Amino acid sequence: MSASRSLDTMDISSMIMGASIASIAWIAFYPWAQLRRLRAIDARNAAPDATSD
């Protein structure tokens, strides 16, 4: 019985560790993806302005 319980505890701690790694990765990489998207939008918006000058 105790072996089963320690296995459940290990599974829960592994899930918590995986979730924390995933959230850190999300916090680290999501702003870079947004920045790349915003740069693409700015470049698309700047293209008509450059031709009108």
Nearest to 9 by CA among 24, 21, 1, 23: 1
pLDDT of residue 1: 47
What's the rounded Cα separation, in Å, for the pair 8 and 18? 15
**In whole angstroms, what is the distance from residue 11 CA to residue 5 CA?**
10
Q: Render pLDDT for 1-26 as a digit per residue (tens, 0 to 9).
A: 455 555 666 688 899 999 999 999 99
pTM for this predicted structure: 0.49
pLDDT one-digit tens code per residue, 29-49: 888 888 888 899 998 998 765
Cα separation, 26 vs 6, in Å, equals 30
